[in-house]
Amino acid sequence: MNKDFYAHFHPDERHFVDRAMEWVERAAHNHAVTRTDFLDPRQAFIVTSLVNRELDAHCIFDGGNLSAERKRAIIGPTYRDLSDEDFGLEVLHIRSDDSKFISLEHGDFMGAVLNVGMKRDKVGDIHVHVNEAHIVIASEAIAFMHMQLSQVHRVHVQTEILSIDKLEVAKQNFEEMSFSVASMRLDGILSDAWRLSRAKIVQPIQAGKCRVNWKPELSPSKELREGDVVSLQGFGRFKVLEVEGLTKKGRLRVKIGKYA
């Protein structure tokens, strides 16, 4: 790969860029078809960027529904129709008779999945409903999850495996909050979002614990825009929903939505 191409990506992404380039080159030069693990939107963007540079390769994505955040990719030679390829997606249906189940949140299910030894790469989106949860999981790993997962945050649960067409998509709920800022700087908005001083926000940003649109962001002065998704390790993530305009004092009124 031309070294100049690396300049488009954060140093922390170089390992994934190299892996993705191998997939694309195998498709273009060895006529191989690769099915990836689940990719976050940033990784999917990297794969798409690499595929678009190679005339002899193409790819498709699927995560179980049109609005899926995490998706698997299938990469193959241009002449090959990929539409009939199996993405290997199944659904782990989780339910419980315990009344405490209704209080469980997305993070509880994610923690339970990881605690039994499941790799994050094998897990797609998690859809939490009032009395049940549906988790999209790679078909090669779902039997393990079905056998191992027996409780979520100390709540005993039962599981069953469903085909991907039985997936029930949960509506994304945001905890909305509005505040005024002097600018759209990352450190300022993070400070208000998590009610921390800027001094306490700058350090984790510079330590690589912050991501903007799934890309590592080390600059506290990064300007955010509507639609940006920001995560801070140990705190969670939010989406910049709207820049509502100026206050009488000339500050920007911003609305964000914290992911539930």
pTM above 0.75, yes or no: yes
pLDDT level of residue 3 (50, 70, 90 thresholds)? low
174-207 pLDDT per residue, tens = 899 999 999 999 999 999 999 999 889 999 999 9
What domains, with CATH codes, occur in the chain?
3-77 (3.30.1370.160), 89-166 (3.30.70.330), 174-259 (3.10.290.10)
Query: Using H for helix, E for strand and C for coil, what is the string for the chain?
Result: CCHHHHHHCCHHHHHHHHHHHHHHHHHHHHCCCEEEEEECHHHHHHHHHHHHCCCCEEEEEECCCCCCCCEEEEEEECCCCCCCCCCCEEEEEEECCCHHHHHCCHHHHHHHHHHCCCCHHHEEEEEECCCEEEEEEECCCHHHHHHHCCEECCEECEEEEEEHHHCCCCCCCEEEEEEEECCCEHHHHHHHHHCCCHHHHHHHHHCCCEEECCEECCCCCCECCCCCEEEECCCEEEEEEEEEEECCCCCEEEEEEEEC
Residue 32 has pLDDT above 90, yes or no: yes
Q: What is the pLDDT of residues 102-132, one digit of tens each?
A: 999 888 999 999 999 999 999 999 999 989 9
